[in-house]
Structures are given as C-alpha cells and as structure tokens.
Amino acid sequence: MIDCPEVPNSLIRDQNSLSVEIFLDPKLHWFKGHFPAQPLLPGVVQIQWALYYAQKLLAKPMRITSVPQLKFMYPVLPGQTIKLRITCREQEVAYSVKFNYEVMTKEGLIQSSYGSLVLC
C-alpha cells in the first residue's frame, strides 16, 4: 500500500478517467528533508501517485516504461489539498496515461504539474 492520504469520498471514476483529492498532511514522511527550510512534495511522489491511481483505474499492476512529458509549475506544500486527474488510453502494447495535479485554494484551482506516462 502506498502512503497517499486520499480525502474520503473524493474518488470519482469512469471507464477511462479518474479524479481524486489528496490532503497533504505536514507529517507525511515525503516532506522530511525535501527541503528543510521549505518542504515541498517531491516530483517523484507525484509520479508514483499517478502510477498508483492509474493501476486502480486499470485494475491491474503496471510499471512505468517511459515518461514522455513532465512539467512542474507550482510548488505543492504541506497542508494543501491537491486534485489529481488521470486519463488512461490503451495503445497497441501499452497504456498511455495523462495526469494533472492542481492545488485547491480559496480562489480556485492552480495547476501545479502535469505529465504523461507509458505503462505496460
């Protein structure tokens, strides 16, 4: 089981897509040492959570074979709630997964990162 603090009742899915809200408790071990002066959610964790929810959507274990696109635009900080959206598409011998993270603020959603994964 992966350490991903999903907000209860926030997971919405259909055949090819999924969205979920994740509360970033400041006590999560992911924040320790990354970085001491201003903790940030590491990019590798965001990729791992995208893989975790893609596997939930596809209902089978998968592994990442490539990361053709990845962009981090806005810091993800302890105490925030983020929304992850995933879309999966079956290809000839693999799955294409697009993901998008948004920080939920009082003013609305702020895109923090996005990317695509190839899974098999």
* CA angle (105 as vertex; 103, 110 as ends), nearest 5: 45
Cα–Cα dist 56/88, whole Å: 11
Q: Per residue in 72-90, pLDDT tens? A: 999 999 999 999 999 999 9
Amino acid in position 23: F
- In the chain the domains, ranked by start, together with CATH numbers, are 12-119 (3.10.129.10)
Q: Per residue in 108-118, pLDDT tens? A: 999 999 999 99
Q: Quick one: DSSP state of residue 92?
A: S
Give me the torsion for CA of 58, 60, 64, 70, rounded to 10°: 30
Q: What is the pLDDT at residue 5? A: 87
Q: For the residues 65-74, what does the mean pLDDT come to?
A: 98
Say if residue 1's pLDDT is above 60. Answer: no
In the structure, what pLDDT confidence band is assigned to residue 2 with cuts at 50, 70 and 90?
low
Q: Per residue in 14-66, pLDDT tens? A: 999 999 999 999 999 999 988 989 999 999 999 999 999 999 999 999 999 99
